[in-house]
Every structure is written in C-alpha cells, then in structure tokens.
C-alpha cells in the first residue's frame, strides 16, 4: 500500500523526469507504459513521425526505463532525480546508444 507521502514523492519524481525529457527531446512525443511495482518506461518518438510510432525503422525512438523503487524511495528526492538525469547525461546516452537506458538503484545509471 502506497501512503500519501510516497505517492507525492512518486508524482514529483515523475514530473522531474517528464520535464527533463521534454527539455531534451522538444520535438518528440512522450508516451509512458507502467509495469506496476517493477518499472515505468518512457518512449520518446519524433512528433512528426507519430504515424510511424509502431515502426522503429521509420522514426527515431528512444526509451528510458525507471525502476519503481527509485521513484518511491524516501532518499530519492526530486532534486536527486534531476541530478541523476543531468550528471548521468541520460538524454545523450539515449541518443548515442539507441537502447533502453535504465535508472535503477542508487549505485548509478546502468545501460
């Protein structure tokens, strides 16, 4: 059961991640898929290629997977989330590697 403080923290961390993705991928559409208790996956796709959203070969798509424990942990404030995204150059990694970047535990980012 998620308490109200944890729910607020999750919402605040998600707002930081959404803002980060909008800033670094301004021409992209952002979609989210949740697997409760495991992870939340963000997919950014070029907006003008939205009709090609189901075909990776027609448009650029990048993925970010965030562990739910990372979002809900009391040690992980929105400021920590912002810092992890910025210091880890997550957007750059998403573009360069073309693979799903995973933000999991507090030991750092791992592809």
pLDDT of residue 13: 93
Q: pTM of this prediction?
A: 0.77
pLDDT of residue 109: 37
Question: pLDDT means per 10 residues in the chain (111 residues)?
Answer: 82 95 91 90 76 54 88 88 86 73 47 34
Q: Helix/strand/coil (H, E, C) string of the chain?
A: CCCHHHHHHHHHHHHHHHHHHHHHCCCEEEEEEEECCCEEEEEEEEHHHHHHCCCCCCCCEEEEEEEHHHHHCCCCCHHHHHHHHHHCCHHHHHHHHCCCEEECCCCCEEC
């Amino acid at each position: 059961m998620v308490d109200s403080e944890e729910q607020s923290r999750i919402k605040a961390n998600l707002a930081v991640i959404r803002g980060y993705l909008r800033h670094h991928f301004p021409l992209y559409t952002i979609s989210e898929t949740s697997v409760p208790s495991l992870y939340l996956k963000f997919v950014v796709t070029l907006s003008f290629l939205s009709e090609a959203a189901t075909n990776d070969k027609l448009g650029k798509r990048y993925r970010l997977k965030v562990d739910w424990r990372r979002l809900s942990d009391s040690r992980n404030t929105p400021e920590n989330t912002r810092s992890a995204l910025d210091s880890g150059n997550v957007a750059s990694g998403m573009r360069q590697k073309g693979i799903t970047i995973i933000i999991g535990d507090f030991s750092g980012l791992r592809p």
